[in-house]
A = this chain, B = another copy of it.
Amino acid sequence: MQHLSPLQIRQQCRSGSFSGNTSGLAPGFVQANMAILPKAYAADFLQFCHFNPKPCPLLGMATAPGAFDMPALAAELDIRTDLPKYRIFQQGQLSAEVSDVRSYWRDDLVTFLIGCSFSFEEALLADGLEIRNITEQVNVPMYRTNLSCTPAGVFHGGMVVSMRPMTPANAIRAIQICSRFPQVHGAPVHFGNPEAIGISDISRPDFGDAVSIKPGEVPVFWACGVTPQVAIANAKLDFCITHSPGHMLLTDLKNSQLSVF
């Protein structure tokens, strides 16, 4: 799979021959979180992203309700089939996990794509920094915090953060690198004392897996793309579709194209 282009991977998703985790696929290309909401909620959600750009950096938005392409981000895209796995939520509850959402499609659905930490992790690795969750082959640990997002309409909730332990010198380098990438969460939001942002037990993440923190390292916290998912859950929408965790949309955009300098 790893040698395939983003378009080829999307085509394999569409044909049903691939429905797996996208971590490590199509190195160098941007992978995106996805949320598809009824038009009635789209303006609120767009405002929520605008108000909270660090956890909800908007990479793209469908040009019109019902549109399932996004030519600026992915050639020949059919958003209804080109992700490996989707989650369907009805009345605020997960109701199905599927690899094709054409039977759920409606003309009032608006698609949003949101930046993902895979992009900045690649930039950190390319610079020689170690990323503990990759070394330990687990999901990145994620935590609910007491940092609140600015609410917009029905969307509200706390910021969720991901954590990667680093030495202070490496954390400083990571801050420099991630500052180049505001569309994939940008610079960290906190480092050091977890309790300062409302995390009572660093060894028990709310999402993902715990990783080891070595002597001389501090936990470094980034705003996380799970934040908009929590805000969507809090909104108890009658209907929405998201990607399944780790099963992202492969776009044709290069990670390097997201760098602002």
Contact = CB atoms under 8 A, between A and B. Distances in A.
Interface of A: 168-169, 171-172, 175-176, 179, 187-193, 196, 216, 218, 261
Given A179-B179, A261-B261, A172 B196 contact: no
A172 B192 contact: no
Given A175-B176, A179-B179, A261-B261, A168 B191 contact: yes
A230 to B, nearest CB: 21
Nearest to A218: B192
Given A169-B189, A187-B172, A261-B261, A196 B179 contact: no
A127 B258 CA distance: 25
Given A175-B175, A175-B187, 6 more contacts: A168-B196, A172-B191, A191-B191, A193-B216, A196-B216, A261-B261
B192 A192 contact: yes
Nearest to A191: B168
A168 B188 CA distance: 10
Contacts of A175: 172, 175-176, 187
Q: Which of A172, A187, A190, A193 is most buried by chain B, counting CB atoms within 10 A of its CB?
A: A172
